[in-house]
Amino acid sequence: MNRTMKSIIFATTLVIAVMAGAVPSVAEDVEKVFKFYCAQCHGESGDGKGINVTEDFPVTPRAFNNAAEMNKLTDADLRNVIHEGGPIASKSEMMPPWGKTLSDEDIDNLVIKLRALCQCKGKQG
Amino acid sequence: MKTFMSLITGLALTGFMAGNALADAAAGKAAFEANKCAECHYTQGPAQEKTIDDVWAKKGPELWYAGSKFNADWLGAWLADPKPIRLLAFNSLSDPNPGDHPKLAAGDAVSVKDFLMSLTAAEVEAGSVKAKKNPKGKLIFTKKMPCSGCHQYPDKSGNRGGKSGPSLVEAGLRLNPDWILAYLQHPAVFKPVKDMPNFVGILSDKDMINVSRHIASFKP
């Protein structure tokens, strides 16, 4: 297969993937990602007091500045919960799955951001 | 001969009505521009947002598929007497909606409604969703994929739910049920960058229909 043909196939695949609603491939700045996707429930400072946490909200979203709680989770736990939603780690369904929305790089960067907020390394897997 | 004449009359009437609709839409576009609606809303598809910054730069929602999204009667009434749809100001996670959307004069509201209703998206399939109370959709909405965490909705005890997303309390009056489904099925088409999860590959088409039916049943 020549190079032009490969390029055409790659471009076509990319277009089909984007049209199908696939994950964006370009990572965004993690501070923007956190503010845009996470802050609505977890708060802009990550204290778990986002604007959606009204009296109707059935659980308390994770406070990322709570080192004791955050230390109970491994980095893999955090990555899985962001990707698959709360139930993957027996946590609340109120945490939806973001794996079809965020790129893997975005999720990896968020894990680093969460560790900076808790100033903890987490349970070692 | 009588049948032939009826056919000719029918065709002429259809052509006349189509011509009127185009004229209405053109007048509405002029009213849309005269009222400076384009300062906050774009009407030319496809979606323009590629990054979070693109979304934050917007002053109001895109309207290039408004004719597929809204119910015409609701839209005309809302343009003449707008009430906040979002609890928060556009793109804010703290400021309440100031409720300062410009109110259009009655004639302009009708014209602009005609223009906006002429803007449609091919992805919206007419007749695919019927508004109906749907227990499976309700379970998805409130628990399985908790839409209720971000969207206000009507409940027996009053309006409940989160604040970051547009309120769905009057979704049954405001939204075309077919559009709700298309929005869930084609996120990259309608909102390529949005602070709501993509559910393609997570919810089945059947479940998307269930939740669309449930949302379309919301009336105050």
Domain that holds residue A38: 27-118
Which one of B55, B56, B93 has the shortest CB-CB distance to A44?
B93
Q: Is residue A57 part of a domain?
A: yes
Q: Is residue A36 part of a domain?
A: yes
Give the Cα separation of B42 and B36 in Å (integer).
Answer: 11
Q: Residue A17 above 50 pLDDT?
A: no
Q: Do A96 and B145 touch (CB under 8 A)?
A: yes
Q: Is residue A16 part of a domain?
A: no
Q: Is residue A19 part of a domain?
A: no
How many structural domains are present in chain A?
1
Q: Do B195 and A36 touch (CB under 8 A)?
A: yes
**Segment holding B159, helix H or strand E:** strand B158-161
Q: Residue B137 above 90 pLDDT?
A: yes
**Confidence band of B191 (pLDDT split at 50, 70, 90):** very high
Provide the pLDDT for residue B12.
53
- Chain A residue whose CA is closest to B56: A36
Interface test with B, best of A16, A18, A56 (most B CBs within 10 A): A56
A65 touches chain B (CB under 8 A): no
**Confidence band of A26 (pLDDT split at 50, 70, 90):** low
Q: Residue A39 above 60 pLDDT?
A: yes
Q: Is residue A8 part of a domain?
A: no
Q: Residue A22 above 90 pLDDT?
A: no
B16-117 matches B135-216 in fold: yes
Q: Is residue A107 part of a domain?
A: yes
Q: Is residue A71 part of a domain?
A: yes
Q: What is the DSSP letter of B45?
A: S
Domain B135-216, CATH number (from 1.10.3720.10, 1.10.760.10, 3.90.550.10, 1.10.150.120) = 1.10.760.10
Provide the pLDDT for residue B23.
63
Q: Do B52 and A56 touch (CB under 8 A)?
A: no
Distance from CA of B45 to the nearest CA of A (A): 14
Of B21 and B71, which is predicted with more confidence? B71
**Which residues of chain B have a CB within 8 Å of the CB of A20?**
188, 200
- Chain A residue whose CA is closest to B141: A94
Q: Do A19 and B197 touch (CB under 8 A)?
A: no
Distance from CA of A2 to the nearest CA of B (A): 31
**Which residues of chain A have a CB within 8 Å of the CB of B53?**
32
Tens digit of each residue's pLDDT (9 = 90 or more) over B72-128: 999 999 999 999 999 999 999 999 999 999 999 999 999 999 999 999 999 999 999
Which one of B160, B162, B198 has the shortest CB-CB distance to A100?
B198
Question: The domain that contains A80 carries what CATH number?
Answer: 1.10.760.10
Which one of B52, B88, B164 has the shortest CB-CB distance to A32?
B52
Give the Cα separation of B139 and B145 in Å (integer).
Answer: 8
Q: Residue A14 above 60 pLDDT?
A: no
Give the Cα separation of B77 and B4 in Å (integer).
Answer: 41
Distance from CA of A51 to the nearest CA of B (A): 6
Tens digit of each residue's pLDDT (9 = 90 or more) over B15-48: 545 556 666 889 999 999 999 999 999 999 999 9
Q: Do B162 and A36 touch (CB under 8 A)?
A: no
Among B85, B114, B115, B116, CA closest to B101: B85
Which one of B93, B198, B200 has the shortest CB-CB distance to A40?
B93
Give the Cα separation of A19 and B121 in Å (integer).
Answer: 14
Q: Is residue A6 part of a domain?
A: no
Give the Cα separation of B7 and B14 in Å (integer).
Answer: 10
Q: Residue B178 above 70 pLDDT?
A: yes
Q: Residue B139 above 60 pLDDT?
A: yes
**Segment holding B218, helix H or strand E:** none
Domain ranges of chain B: 16-117, 135-216
Tell me the mean pLDDT in the region B198-218.
97
How many H helices and E strands in chain B?
10, 2
Tell me the mean pLDDT in the region A67-93.
96
Of A23 and B200, which is predicted with more confidence? B200
A31 touches chain B (CB under 8 A): no
Among B212, B187, B170, B211, CA closest to B75: B170
Domain B16-117, CATH number (from 2.60.40, 1.20.120, 1.10.760, 1.10.3470) = 1.10.760
